[in-house]
Amino acid sequence: MKMGVKKIVNFMLALVLLVSLAGCDTSGAKQSTKDNTSGVDTSSVVASKGNLPIIGTGKIKYDPNTVLNNGEPMTLEWWMWDSPDQFQKYADAYHELHPNIEIKVVNKAWEGFWTKLPLALKSGTGPALWNQLFLYENDVINEMDPYRFSIEDLSEDFMGINQYVRDGKIYWFSYGYMCNGIFYNKDMWKEAGLTETDIPKTWDEFREVAKKLTKWEGNRMVRAGFDFYGGPSATTHCDLIRTIAYQQGANAYDADNKPQYNSPEMKKALQMLNDFINVDKISSKDLSSKVEESFGNGLSAMAFEFGYYMNTLKTNYPEINYGIFRVPSMTNETPYAYGIYSVEGTPGINKNLNEAEKDVAHDFVNFYIASSEIQVQLCSHYGLFPSNKHVVDDPIIQSNPLVNALEPYINRYVFAGAEPQASKDVLTQAYQEVVFNGKPVDTALETANEDLMRALETYKFTSLEPLYEHASEAKR
């Protein structure tokens, strides 16, 4: 993933940008209540405080004039698995504010990250901070220190906070929504005689557009009009099945938190994907092993993908001239939901830190969350729709084609929560059985539902679908 247009080169540049959004507190430096008994000269740290602008445009604000740890040195580790250079900028900006504090960015391999982190936290060797991912909340929640913000203040500034309340506390939340859309090749679109007025709103319209974009050499498809298959390990096809089921009003879990993968709506969704290949002939299971490559290599004209794919295209396929539109729905009527989203999370804080370390860790998270500059950059970097209400209209955010496509509909996207990996694995298995092996849809999804029920017996999970803004409209 690549960073957005605006970069924090150093803190002074960031500060200039933030001054226009901030007020100033000139009352003098705020001291920690503990005395400095280390013998270390902290006068230079204290002297620099008192005239720095307050950061933040909403309820959550950050006062950089507080002297942390009595001005004495402290180093805290911050673990992550992606984009360390991007996050290092924020650690450096914080160090400019607090020269005695170093936030040490530690980039760990993705493979094994969520096995090693819980073990490290429990053994007392874990980091002070780490980037949280919703899928693994249950693995670390017992080792997390709750945030010190009020839920009311967070809700004023960020969308969807109620989804992250655990026993009246917040341990992390999403700073941005990773939403899906249809990526289309503009050059192929024009070649087929299509214009912006041909962007489809319904799946029936979509099929006709896709047929015009599909290319054949004799009986052999050489370019698919549409691709969605993520491959054996990716999940885009699973997400599309779930999306189409939601559009028909069906949640993935019932009121008792039991899976509904065998619902009529889910069956219709999987049948639609099979028909794209075998009936409509706008997709192919043979052209490419995964949609990321087929669209990038010109083997498909349209692709179902998420926001991160913009960075993939920019990095690996910069020559592709593309646009994005909202995923079509079943009819022209407003559906129960247009689609699904996943989330990128704020840092978790290790509850096993000593009190001084906790104070600094919480202070850093306050800085990270209050800064509109950081929130804009993160969402631009990852292609996210921001949850921060105050930055949606930022020019950098508005330059994101996915944000432009989805902004009118964003309150009609669903997040089910920290589901087990089995929720995707069983659906991939069902898809492969139907598409590659010819198994009946009903049989494949009955098996998938039974397998997921067994997986949930040993996995602590509560669906967040009932917290969806339009949950009362669900058929099931």
pLDDT given at position 38: 37
What one-character-per-residue DSSP string does 241-291 give? HHHHHHHTT--SB-TTS-B-TTSHHHHHHHHHHHHHHHTS----SSS-S-H
Helix axes 264-278, 441-456, angle to 10 degrees: 130
For the chain, which ranges sit under pLDDT 70? 1-49, 233
What is the three-class DSSP state of 394?
Answer: coil
Asked if residues 475 and 250 have their Cβ atoms less than 8 Å apart, the reply is: yes
What is the three-class DSSP state of 385?
Answer: strand
pLDDT given at position 27: 36
pLDDT given at position 233: 65
Q: Exposed e or buried b for every residue in 38-68, given b needs 16+ CB within 10 A?
A: eeeebeebbebbeebbbbbbbbbbbbbbbbb
pLDDT given at position 342: 87
What is the three-class DSSP state of 303?
Answer: strand
Please report, as a single letter, which amino acid is at residue 6.
Answer: K
Alpha helices in 66-175 (DSSP H): 84-97, 113-123, 137-140, 151-157
Nearest to 81 by CA among 58, 46, 100, 109: 109
The CA distance from 151 to 148, in Å, is 9
Radius of gyration of the chain (CA): 24
- DSSP state, residue 179: E
pLDDT tens per residue, range 412-432 = 999 998 888 899 999 999 999
pLDDT over 70 percentage in the chain: 89
pLDDT given at position 48: 56
pLDDT given at position 8: 35
| Partners of 424 in the β-ladder | none
- DSSP state, residue 61: -
Nearest to 476 by CA among 264, 325, 281: 264
Give the number of other Cβ atoms within 10 Å of residue 379's Cβ: 27
Asked if residues 83 and 381 have their Cβ atoms less than 8 Å apart, the reply is: yes
The CA distance from 192 to 8, in Å, is 42
What one-character-per-residue DSSP string does 304-326 give? EEETTHHHHHHHH-TT--EEEEP
